[in-house]
Structure 1
Amino acid sequence: MTHAQTAPVQQNRVPEVTIDFWLIKLMAVTMGETAADYLAVNLGLGLTVTSLLMTAVLLVALVFQFAQKLYVPPFYWAAVVLISIVGTLVSDNLVDNFGVALQTTAIAFTITLALTFAVWYAVERTLSIHTIFTTRRETFYWLAILFTFALGTAVGDLVAEVFALGYLTTGILFGGIIAVIAIAYYFFKLNAILAFWLAYILTRPLGASFGDLLSQPQEYGGLGFGTTVTSLLFLAVIICLVLYMTLAQRPAAQEPMEAELEGSPEQ
């Protein structure tokens, strides 16, 4: 029997990038913003207790996610929703509890994320999300996801609050930037990995802006639906989408990736 016949099957542990992926990701980041506010403010837990509690829940979710060794929608998206909440709380703690300026926070998370990508590439020679086959690669992946959420939170708050553009204008601004990235990718051959991570970062302030627009009181520029209603609404949409993904998941999505993808930075 040949080596190819006896080699263990390696399956990608993260989903394909589709319209469904971006839709549920946008829902997740929006809920991350409103749920963090709901827990810290509406339930009166405060930033510190909320941060400790949600970090513990996230760690449990990641244990289950890492144990799968393949992409399983409920485990994966539960981890995304929770890491969105924790990423929001990390940024909020720095600003509200430690008095760090949003400009400084945004710069710090930009540097941290860049260093994460640099180490990831130095070790694995690729930043491709199509080859998350190993625990080490998945660890880099989730670290990058955490810092994209923290960075997106800081940048979104900076533009909406410090630059005083408001939630709606901020959401439209980031939506426009994402559209430019999509055009650059589809029509001008922008590198796929760069396009993906830029869009992933920017969907955070996009979703957070519209989440704040729906949940914040009218005197603060919102529509006044509150964090409870907004969080439950987006949670319901997320659950429906995950259920759909789980039922519609094709067997082909679980096939092992071609060997030539391994280590290829173009994928």
Structure 2
Amino acid sequence: MKIARRTANKVPEVTVYFWIIKVLATTVGETAADLLNMNLGLGLTWTTIVMAVLTAAAVTLQFRAERYVPWRYWLVVILVSVVGTLITDNLVDNFGVPLEVTTAVFAVALAATFILWYRGERTLSIHTIVTTKREWYYWAAILFTFALGTAAGDLLAERVSLGYLASAGVFAAAIALIGLGYRLRLLGAVLAFWAAYVLTRPLGASVGDWLSQPRDNGGLGLGTVGPSAVFLVASVALVAYLTRSRADATREPAAAAARAFR
């Protein structure tokens, strides 16, 4: 039987930097998808094709790494964020699938990914992404969280007519409750992490739409260029800092690898 290749854990420690960059990346995913699709005139189909190719190349680089490398990891997150947005937009705009259906479908897909992951590996911890198989599960889950978050955010803001800013407030409050539940030990670390991870996607998307959408649609009318550039530059600056400081590197990769197979 072939033994899966083992590496050091290839996912960063969950620090305040992790959550800041995650929200920045999700906001970039929302505004950049609109920028490429509408402002540059590529259209949904060509935008999706181009971004899928770039994402595949970035994922290949990430899989070839033997340890966590900040720029490789976060490049994939940003690109997957854009692709997740485009998948939902394609289903809704090109194929006429209602947001209620896309939200339900991606929720089921994410749940199925977690079930298969846990059945095969007996853990969903991000501190044990030390084999290629686990890495596939991890990135599949990330993709579905982005697609689900886009659909859920648009559903609440547009279909339910709550508005972008109010929707962002709802998701922020939900994340705060998850954090409180974790602090009070009402939620386990793994459940709290993934619940918060899912919700940061619609939070970032709602903020992005609020900044970029016209005032008539409930936004600030800043367009997609400015917000995309600001959030992307902020993301790059933080990733550069983490590359230099190693502040979010896994502290004991060998120990984590050993625990992963217990």
Same fold (TM over 0.5): yes
Shift of 1:35: 0.1
> Is the CA contact 1:10–1:257 (under 8 Å) kept in the aligned structure 2?
no
Compute the displacement of 1:219 (Å): 1.2
Provide, for residues 73-96 of structure 1, a one-character-per-residue CA deviation record: whole Å limited to 9, x for no partner: 000000000000000000110000
Q: Could you say which residue in structure 1 is the equivalent of 2:56?
A: 59
Task: Give how far 1:254 is off.
Answer: 6.2
Query: How many Å separate the matches in 1 of 2:170 and 2:84?
Result: 22
Counterpart for residue 239 of structure 2? 242
The offset of 1:9, in angstroms, is: 7.5
TM-score in terms of structure 1 length: 0.93
Cα distance between partner residues in 2 of 1:109 and 1:76: 23
- What is the rounded CA distance, in whole Å, between the counterparts of 2:83 and 2:231 in structure 1? 17
Contact 1:106 1:151 in 2 (8 A): yes
Match of 1:3 in 2: none
* C-alpha distance 230-252 of structure 1, shift in aligned 2 (>3 A): closer
- Residue 124 of structure 1 aligns with which residue? 121
How many equivalent pairs are there?
Answer: 257
In 2: Cα distance, 1:121 partner to 1:24 partner: 27
Partner residue in 1 for 2:251: 253
> Does 2:174 align with 1:177?
yes
- Of 108-117 and 185-194, more deviation after overlay is shown by 185-194
Partners of 1:125 and 1:263 within 8 A in 2: no
**How far apart are the structure 1 equivalents of 2:250 and 2:68?**
12
The change in CA–CA distance for 1:116 and 1:193 in structure 2 (over 3 A counts) is same
Q: Give the Cα–Cα distance (whole angstroms) in 2 for the partners of residues 254 and 260 of structure 1.
A: 10
1:73 corresponding residue in structure 2: 70
1:45 to 42, 45, 49: 42
| Superposition pairs of residues 1-267 of structure 1, within 5 angstroms | 10-249=7-246, 253=251, 255-258=253-256, 261-263=259-261
Task: Give runs of ≥4 in structure 1 deviating > 6 Å.
Answer: none
**What SS class does the counterpart of residue 37 from structure 1 fall into?**
helix
**Unaligned 5+ residue runs, structure 1?**
1-7
- Aligned AA (2:116): V
Between 1:8-17 and 1:71-80, the stretch displaced more is 8-17
Q: Is contact 2:125-2:190 (8 Å) kept?
A: yes
- Asked if the contact 1:131/1:257 (under 8 Å) is kept, the reply is no
Percent pairwise identity:
53
Describe the SS at the equivalent of 1:40: helix
Aligned residue for 2:184, secondary structure, equals helix
Look up the equivalent residue of 1:54 and give its one-letter code: M
